[in-house]
Amino acid sequence: MILLDIEGTTTPIAFVTETLFPYARTHLTTFLEREGGSSEVVGTIERLRREFEADDEARGQIRGWSVIAYAEWLMDRDRKSAALKDLQGRIWQDGYRNGSLAGQVFEDAARALARWHAAGVPVAIYSSGSVLAQQWLFRTCEGGDLTPLIRWHFDTAVGGKRDPASYTRIADMTGVAAAKITFVSDIVAELDAARAAGLRTVLSVRPGNARQPPHDHRIVTSFDEIELPSA
């Protein structure tokens, strides 16, 4: 089994930082005005409110509860808030649906997804972005809908990406032994956590990726370099 990160691994970091994040911020207010009363969004707003009430730093800097102010505060700090990721995913879904956004995936990553699928090797995604956001990114790529090539999607509902227990949960949920899972990411700390859980690891080095500390993980610059694993 192959387990893939998205940002800096299957997808250019610039697409996330220069397209997706600004889009969510620009459309935050209009989205909430239009969809803020729906049951799904009401639930997300309530989760954000609970996070705000428990966030001493935010309450010290934001005067009173405001979903817009708190969401923007979290965005400014790139906080890995599950509720914020859910809200961003819903905003991006709108953009993908109306054609304002289209998913970006490296050509070698798309080729590998097709190659692994044809060989019967299951593929999963594990990203801090919501499952909804992941699905729409891979559904709207220039080369077509890639979601049939991906068996599972995981977000931080299974736990943080730097926590070995998260990878143990993914192994349990997929029914694949940890030793038979290869995790590909651009972040050494995530790979260290995956290795601690018994997974095989590969560091993705792409243009624009952050420099990583010294490590002994295998390095690839293209998915063409990843050997076909056993299922």
* Mean pLDDT value across residues 133-145: 95
Contact 137, 6 (CB under 8 A): yes
**pLDDT over threshold 70, residue 175:** yes
**pLDDT over threshold 80, residue 39:** yes
What single-letter DSSP state applies at residue 123?
Answer: E
* Mean pLDDT value across residues 5-34: 96
**Residue indicated by tokens 């009401």:** 42
**Which domains are present in the chain?**
2-13+103-225 (3.40.50.1000), 16-98 (1.10.720)
Q: How confident is the model at residue 159 (pLDDT cuts 50, 70, 90)?
A: very high
Q: How confident is the model at residue 142 (pLDDT cuts 50, 70, 90)?
A: confident
Backbone angle region of 190, left / alpha / beta, with phi > 0 → left and psi within -120 to 50 → alpha: alpha
Closest CA relative to residue 190, chosen from 4, 1, 2: 4
Each residue of 189-212: pLDDT tens digit? 999 999 999 999 999 999 999 999
| Averaged pLDDT of the chain | 95
Q: Which two tokens stand for residue 216?
A: 């002994």
Q: How confident is the model at residue 80 (pLDDT cuts 50, 70, 90)?
A: confident
Each residue of 3-16: pLDDT tens digit? 999 999 999 999 99
- pTM of the full structure: 0.93
Residue 42: what pLDDT? 95
**Residue indicated by tokens 């792409």:** 206
CA Rg, the chain, in Å? Answer: 18
